């Protein structure tokens, strides 16, 4: 039988992340698993060819990373304060790719993530992060619709 010792919970700090957090907490508690909470700062260097100064992009990316660290601290406090094993992960790169990379590196047994993030034109242009993760993850992925009616 499969064991679940390590769970990865990717977040984007939106309302949706807060609604999926109880599921991540429940699974971590029930399995006695370590919970990794991950946020990916999108790599802005891919926009370097758009006549935006390289230094400006580097500065913005650094500020976003520092802001993510602060937001992660409060998110963990709000949602996982009494959970014994929680580790934050903040990465830079393409979101779905980094989630799957972290899953491989941390020997993740289960990824729990929300199905909603991008909407409308943004989703049509960039696709669904959850869909990409489901297709490429090295482990099972539990997707949760954070706005489902109960």
Domains contained in the chain, CATH given: 6-144 (3.40.50.620)
Calculate the average pLDDT of the chain: 85
User: pTM of the full predicted structure?
Assistant: 0.85
pLDDT digit string, tens, across residues 118-135: 555 444 444 588 889 999
Give 149's DSSP letter. Answer: -
How far from chain centre, in Å, is Cα 117? 11
Rg (CA), the chain: 16
Alpha-carbon distance 8 to 143, whole Å? 12
Read off the pLDDT of residues 80-90 as tens digits, 9 standing for 90 and up: 998 989 999 99
Q: Pick the more confident residue, 50 or 84.
A: 84
What percentage of the chain carries pLDDT values higher than 70? 81
**Residue 38 clears pLDDT 80, i.e. is over it:** yes
């Amino acid at each position: 039988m499969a064991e679940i010792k390590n769970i990865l919970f990717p977040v984007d700090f939106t309302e949706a992340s807060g609604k999926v957090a109880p599921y991540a907490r429940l699974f971590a508690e029930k399995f006695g698993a370590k919970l990794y909470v991950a946020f990916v700062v999108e790599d802005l260097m891919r926009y370097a060819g758009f006549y935006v100064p390289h230094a400006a992009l580097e500065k913005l990316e650094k500020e976003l990373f520092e802001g993510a660290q602060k937001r992660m601290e409060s998110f963990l406090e709000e949602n996982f304060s009494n959970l014994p094993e929680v580790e934050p992960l903040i990465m830079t790169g393409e979101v779905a790719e980094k989630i799957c990379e972290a899953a491989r590196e941390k020997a993740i047994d289960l990824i729990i993530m929300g199905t909603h993030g991008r909407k409308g034109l943004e989703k049509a242009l960039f696709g669904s992060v959850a869909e990409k993760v489901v297709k490429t993850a090295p482990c099972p992925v539990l997707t949760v619709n954070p706005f489902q009616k109960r």
